[in-house]
């Protein structure tokens, strides 16, 4: 172990860091959430705002997280604390790390519920349950499944057990081994599916037009906030997941280049998912604005109508399951690493502890579509909806502002220059975006959404 290595282990190469970070970024956010929020918010114009957020806010903040993680070589909480102190600032900056670890719990608590639905859909599609199905059958199957508290609970628990298992095995044997095999498989499957949608649906151009025709009248500040929240969520930013992974990244590799690569991969997967889903939706005369059920109702229905749909539908949900598990392990990493550092516990104990807490919190989300479907936390939002809305649209962007301010203004310039020396031509652009553009843009969106309501 080199003197500058993390006690938790290290990625064996830059490529492995990229696969792990892309594994974190590419997930349900890309395949389940992006198409349905784009659909609900009218397509094109929303996508354009989302892309602007990725490039102007997302990439600079991702580079900031990698920078802080790699310079700190510890869990986000301790990295923020010790770097703040080394920079002559208050140790109170560790609050950003705390907020992030908490956000990880909140996100995984609903994320694992959806991932559980996905696992059960692998079996359902593979067994041919949707072959020749009509809209009623697809809808009733979905409602019947999510309405059954026991089956939702079972799959949700299974997904958490899997997450704990991989996490407990450690950075090298657990995390790296998982992403090394799953991510390349995921990319291949996705390309196969885009070709399948393009060839068999006959409505590919309609899907393309839906994603890329810009109708600005449909855009409100509320939908701009959702586009921005989606950008944070899809890139895993604002809560320390990428920071935690950055702590295991080898020195002397470019940070901005790596962040850009990861963001491009993530954006590519989101757009490609849209290009699988919307042509199938239009080919079958379905609603693009169907909401969270889009992937679980319209897609099985579409696959049920198409040649080879049983096979390709099953493959599709396997791909989504892969994407979900490589993201879930990054959601617990900040908390797990901190427990190992602070309590000197083993990773096995830390992973079990975090898994148990997430499971408890997640009961609220698992039961939001059945036992607790009439219990509203804020307005008309169930526990599930509240966790999703609050983390995406408030906690992550807020965390992002503080991370940008910390990396841009607070961090000792010697540390910053040293980490960024591999990025010279882009360093000033990054610094400008991080110091000014990202914090100001996020603040404006917050204020305008608030004023408009
Ligand atoms: N980026 C993941 C997705 O798009 O599904 C979700 C996620 C993972 C968000 C890790 C935040 C995070 F820290």
Supply the pLDDT for residue 212. 85
Q: Is 29 in the pocket of ligand 1 (CB under 6 A)?
A: yes
Confidence of residue 3 (pLDDT cuts 50, 70, 90): low
Per-residue model confidence as pLDDT tens digits over 164-223: 999 999 999 999 999 999 999 989 989 988 898 888 878 889 988 888 887 777 788 888
pLDDT value, residue 21? 96
Question: Tokens in use for 263?
Answer: 């963001």
Task: Give, for 44, the enclosing helix (H) or strand (E).
Answer: helix 44-53
By the 8 A CB rule, do 203 and 196 touch?
no
Ligand 1 mutation target, pool 167, 244, 327, 394, most atoms within 8 A of CB? 327
Upper half-sphere CA count for residue 302 (Cβ side, 13 Å): 28
- C-alpha 407 chain-centroid distance: 22
Q: Which atom of ligand 1 is nearest to the CA of 238?
A: 13
Is the pLDDT score of 94 beyond 80?
A: yes
Residue having the nearest C-alpha atom to atom 12 of ligand 1: 236
Task: Tell which atom from ligand 1 comes closest to the C-alpha of 34.
Answer: 4
Across the range 46-63, mean pLDDT stands at 96
Write down the pLDDT at residue 437.
Answer: 97
Q: Which two tokens stand for residue 433?
A: 């975006």
Q: Is 273 in the pocket of ligand 1 (CB under 6 A)?
A: no
CA of 134 to the centre of ligand 1 (A): 33
Q: Looking at residue 283, what is its pLDDT?
A: 85
pLDDT for position 288: 81
**Dihedral (Cα; 237, 406, 73, 352), 10-degree rounding:** -50
- Ligand 1 and 408: CB distance under 6 A: no
Ligand 1: residue whose CA is nearest its atom 9: 236
Check if 100 has its Cβ closer than 6 Å to any atom of ligand 1.
Answer: no
- Say yes or no: CB of residue 239 within 6 Å of ligand 1: yes
Does ligand 1 have an atom closer than 6 angstroms to the CB of 74? no
Residues 304 and 132 sit within 8 Å (Cβ to Cβ):
yes
414's enclosing H/E stretch is: helix 413-419
Report residue 381: phi and psi, to 5°: -95, 130
Q: Is ligand 1 within 6 A of the CB of residue 28? A: yes
| CA of residue 298 to ligand 1 center, whole Å | 24
pLDDT bracket for residue 20 (50, 70, 90) = very high
Can you say whether the dihedral through the CA atoms of 422, 426, 432, 435 is positive or negative?
negative
Nearest-CA residue for ligand 1 atom 10 is 236
Backbone angles phi, psi at 209, to 5 degrees: -65, -40
Q: What residues contact residue 107 under an 8 Å CB cut-off, 6+ apart?
A: 233, 239, 331, 387, 391
Contact 132, 122 (CB under 8 A): no
User: How far apart (Å, rounded) are the C-alpha atoms in residues 77 and 79?
Assistant: 6
Q: Rounded to whole angstroms, how far apart are CA atoms 13 and 25? A: 18
pLDDT of amino acid 286: 81
Question: What is the rounded CA–CA span in Å between residue 107 and residue 269?
Answer: 21
Ligand 1, atom 7, residue with closest C-alpha: 236
How far is ligand 1, taken at its centre, from the CA of residue 393, in Å? 13
Specify the ligand 1 atom closest to the Cα of 25. Answer: 1
* 241 Cα nearest atom in ligand 1: 13
Confidence band for 289, pLDDT divided at 50, 70 and 90: confident
| pLDDT higher than threshold 90 for residue 356 | yes
Both ends of the chain: CA-CA distance in Å? 54
CA dihedral 177, 183, 188, 190 (to 10 degrees): 150
Q: Which atom in ligand 1 lies closest to the alpha carbon of residue 240? A: 13
Question: Per the structure block, which two tokens stand in for 330?
Answer: 């990054």
Ligand 1 neighbour 107 (Cβ under 6 A): yes
User: How far is residue 9's CA from residue 250's CA, in Å, rounded to a whole number?
Assistant: 11
Q: What is the pLDDT of residue 9?
A: 94
Which residue, among 121, 74, 165, 153, has the nearest Cα to 317 in the 3D structure? 121
330-346 mean pLDDT = 96
Whether pLDDT at 404 is above 70: yes
> What whole-number distance in Å separates Cα of residue 314 and Cα of residue 138?
15
The atom number, within ligand 1, closest to the CA of 235 reads 1
Q: What values do phi and psi take at 378, rounded to 5?
A: -125, 130
- With the most atoms of ligand 1 within 8 angstroms of its CB, the residue from 61, 75, 76, 241 to mutate is 241
Dihedral class, residue 155 (left if φ above 0, else alpha if ψ from -120 to 50, else beta): alpha
Q: Which of 363, 330, 310, 341 is nearest to 113 (CA)?
A: 363
Please determine, looking at this structure, whether the domain spanning 14-452 carries the CATH number 1.20.1740.10.
Answer: yes
- pLDDT tens digits for 239-266? 999 999 999 999 988 999 999 999 999 9
CB 386 near ligand 1, within 6 Å: no
CA distances to 103, 434, 435, 446 from 401, in Å: 15, 9, 10, 11
Distance 98 CA to ligand 1 centre (A): 17
Report residue 2's pLDDT band, with 50, 70 and 90 as the boundaries: low
């Amino acid at each position: 172990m080199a003197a500058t290595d993390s006690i938790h282990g290290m990625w064996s190469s830059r490529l492995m860091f990229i696969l792990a970070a892309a594994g974190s970024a590419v997930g349900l956010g890309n395949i389940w959430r992006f198409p349905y929020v784009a659909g609900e918010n009218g397509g094109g114009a929303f996508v354009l705002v989302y892309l602007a957020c990725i490039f102007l806010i997302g990439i600079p903040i991702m580079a900031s997280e990698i920078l802080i993680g790699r310079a700190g070589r510890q869990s986000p909480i301790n990295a923020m604390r010790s770097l703040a102190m080394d920079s002559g600032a208050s140790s109170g900056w560790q609050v950003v790390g705390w907020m992030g670890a908490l956000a990880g719990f909140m996100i995984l608590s609903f994320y694992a519920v959806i991932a559980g639905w996905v696992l059960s859909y692998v079996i359902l599609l593979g067994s041919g349950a949707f072959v020749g199905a009509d809209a009623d059958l697809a809808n009733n199957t979905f409602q019947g499944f999510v309405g059954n508290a026991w089956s939702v609970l079972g799959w949700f628990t299974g997904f958490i057990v899997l997450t704990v298992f991989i996490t407990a095995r450690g950075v090298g044997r657990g995390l790296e081994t998982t992403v090394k095999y799953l991510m390349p498989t995921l990319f291949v499957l996705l390309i196969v599916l885009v070709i399948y949608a393009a060839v068999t649906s006959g409505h590919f151009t309609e899907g393309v037009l839906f994603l890329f025709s810009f109708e600005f009248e449909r855009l409100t500040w509320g939908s701009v906030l959702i586009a921005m929240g989606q950008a944070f969520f899809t890139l895993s930013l604002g809560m320390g997941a990428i920071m935690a992974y950055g702590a295991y990244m080898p020195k002397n590799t470019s940070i901005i280049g790596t962040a850009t690569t990861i963001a491009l991969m993530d954006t590519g997967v989101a757009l490609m998912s849209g290009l699988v889903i919307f042509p199938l939706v239009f080919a079958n005369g379905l609603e693009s604005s169907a909401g969270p059920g889009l992937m679980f109702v319209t897609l099985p229905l579409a696959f049920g109508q198409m040649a080879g749909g049983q096979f390709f539908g099953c493959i599709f949900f396997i791909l989504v399951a892969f994407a979900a598990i490589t993201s879930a392990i990054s959601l617990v990493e900040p908390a797990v690493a901190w427990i190992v550092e602070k309590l000197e516990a083993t990773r096995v104990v830390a992973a079990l502890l975090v898994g148990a807490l997430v499971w408890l919190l997640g009961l609220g989300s698992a039961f939001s579509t059945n036992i607790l479907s009439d219990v509203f936390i804020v307005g008309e939002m169930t526990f599930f909806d509240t966790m999703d809305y609050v983390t995406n649209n408030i906690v992550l962007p807020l965390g992002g502002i503080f991370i940008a301010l910390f990396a841009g203004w607070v961090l000792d310039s010697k540390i910053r220059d040293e980490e960024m020396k591999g990025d010279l031509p882009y360093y000033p652009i990054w610094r400008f975006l991080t110091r000014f553009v990202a914090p100001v843009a996020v603040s404006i969106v917050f204020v305008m959404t608030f004023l408009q309501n």
